A and B are shown apart, each in its own frame.
Chain A
Amino acid sequence: MNRLEELFTRKQSRILNVYCTAGYPQLDSTVKVMKTLQENGADLIELGMPYSDPLADGPVIQASGSKALENGMSIEVLFQQLKDFRKEIYVPVILMGYMNPVLQFGFEKFCQYCADAPIDGLILPDLPEYEYETEYGEIIQRYGLDFIFLVTPETSEERIRKLDSLSRGFLYAVSSSSITGSDQDFSAVETYLERLQKMKLKNPILVGFGIKDKHTFDMACSYANGAIIGSAYIKAIEDANDVETATKTFLDTILI
Chain B
Amino acid sequence: MINITTPLNKGTYKQPNIYGYYGNYGGAYIPEMLHRNVEELRTRYLEIMYDDAFQKEYKDLLRDYVGRPTPLYLAKRLSKLHNTNIYLKREDLNHTGAHKINNTVGQILLALKLGKKRIIAETGAGQHGVATATVCALKGIECVVYMGSKDIERQAPNVARMKMLGAKVVPATSGSQTLKDATNEAIRGWINDPLDTHYIIGSVVGPHPYPDMVARFQSIISEETRWQLKEKTGSELPTHVMACVGGGSNAAGMFYHYLDELSVQLVAVEAAGHGVNSGMSAATTQLGKPGILHGSKSLVMQTADGQVVEPHSISAGLDYPGVGPLHAHLYESGRGTFLSATDDESLKAAFELAQLEGIIPALESAHALAALHQMKFKTSDQVVICLSGRGDKDLATYMKVMEGNVM
Task: Report the minimum CB–CB distance from B187 to chain A (whole Å).
Answer: 5
Which residues in B have their C-beta under 8 angstroms from that of A156? 36
Q: Is the CB of B293 within 8 A of A100?
A: yes
Query: Bound complex: CA of A100 vs CA of B184, how far in Å?
Result: 15
Q: For A52, give its contact among B19, B29, B187, B308 (CB under 8 Å).
A: B308
Q: Is the CB of B174 within 8 A of A178?
A: no
Q: Is the CB of A179 within 8 A of B306?
A: no
Q: Is the CB of B293 within 8 A of A151?
A: no
Interface presence of A246 (CB below 8 A): no
Interface presence of B356 (CB below 8 A): no
Which residues in B have their C-beta under 8 angstroms from that of A159? 35
Query: Bound complex: CA of A103 vs CA of B291, how far in Å?
Result: 7
Q: Is the CB of A179 within 8 A of B191?
A: yes
Contact with B along A71-94 (1 / 0, CB 8 A): 000111000000000000000000
Residue ID in chain B nearest A77 by CB atoms: B305
Interface presence of B11 (CB below 8 A): no
Interface presence of B192 (CB below 8 A): yes
Count of A-B contacts judged by CB separation below 8 Å? 111
Q: Is the CB of B31 within 8 A of A56?
A: yes
Residue ID in chain B nearest A62 by CB atoms: B174
Interface presence of B253 (CB below 8 A): no
Query: Bound complex: CA of A149 vs CA of B32, how far in Å?
Result: 8
Query: Bound complex: CA of A154 vs CA of B30, how far in Å?
Result: 14
Residue ID in chain B nearest A154 by CB atoms: B36
Which residues in A have their C-beta under 8 angstroms from that of B327? none
Which residues in A have their C-beta under 8 angstroms from that of B307? 51-52, 69, 101
Q: Is the CB of A103 within 8 A of B28?
A: no
Which residues in B have their C-beta under 8 angstroms from that of A101? 305-307
Q: Is the CB of B306 within 8 A of A53?
A: no
Which residues in A have their C-beta under 8 angstroms from that of B188? 55-56, 58, 179
Which residues in B have their C-beta under 8 angstroms from that of A52? 175, 307-308
- Of B30, B192, B306, the most chain A CB neighbours within 10 A belong to B306
Interface presence of B292 (CB below 8 A): yes
Contact with A along B22-35 (1 / 0, CB 8 A): 00000111111101
Interface presence of A152 (CB below 8 A): yes
Q: Is the CB of A53 within 8 A of B291?
A: no
Task: Report the minimum CB–CB distance from A102 to chain B (whole Å).
Answer: 7
Q: A103-B291, A177-B194 are in contact. Are A155 and B35 (CB under 8 A)?
A: yes
Task: Report the minimum CB–CB distance from A188 to chain B (whole Å).
Answer: 12
Q: For B32, give its contact among A102, A131, A152, A178 (CB under 8 Å).
A: A152
Interface presence of A37 (CB below 8 A): no
Contact with A along B273-302 (1 / 0, CB 8 A): 000000000000000011111110000101
Q: Is the CB of A126 within 8 A of B35?
A: no
Q: Is the CB of A53 within 8 A of B184?
A: yes
Interface presence of A207 (CB below 8 A): no
Interface presence of B304 (CB below 8 A): yes
Query: Bound complex: CA of A179 vs CA of B194, how far in Å?
Result: 11
Query: Bound complex: CA of A102 vs CA of B175, how far in Å?
Result: 20
Contact with B along A113-141 (1 / 0, CB 8 A): 00000000000011110110000000000
Task: Report the minimum CB–CB distance from A126 to chain B (whole Å).
Answer: 5
Interface presence of B180 (CB below 8 A): yes
Q: Is the CB of B192 within 8 A of A179?
A: yes
Task: Report the minimum CB–CB distance from A69 to chain B (whole Å).
Answer: 6
Q: Is the CB of A104 within 8 A of B306?
A: yes
Which residues in A have their C-beta under 8 angstroms from that of B304? 104
Query: Bound complex: CA of A3 vs CA of B28, how far in Å?
Result: 32
Q: Is the CB of B192 within 8 A of A104?
A: no
Q: For B33, give its contact among A53, A103, A154 (CB under 8 Å).
A: A154
Query: Bound complex: CA of A93 vs CA of B367, how far in Å?
Result: 50
Q: Is the CB of B33 within 8 A of A128?
A: no
Interface presence of A219 (CB below 8 A): no
Q: Is the CB of B30 within 8 A of A128?
A: yes
Q: A53-B308, A56-B191 are in contact. Are A126 and B174 (CB under 8 A)?
A: no
Q: Is the CB of A103 within 8 A of B306?
A: yes
Enumerate A130-174 residues with CB–CB distance to B below 8 Å: 130-131, 149-152, 154-156, 159, 163, 174
9 A-B pairs with CB atoms under 8 Å apart are: A55-B31, A55-B295, A102-B306, A103-B306, A104-B291, A128-B27, A130-B27, A152-B32, A163-B32
Q: Which 9 A-B pairs have the closest CB atoms?
A: A104-B306, A101-B306, A74-B305, A150-B32, A125-B31, A56-B31, A52-B307, A154-B36, A126-B29
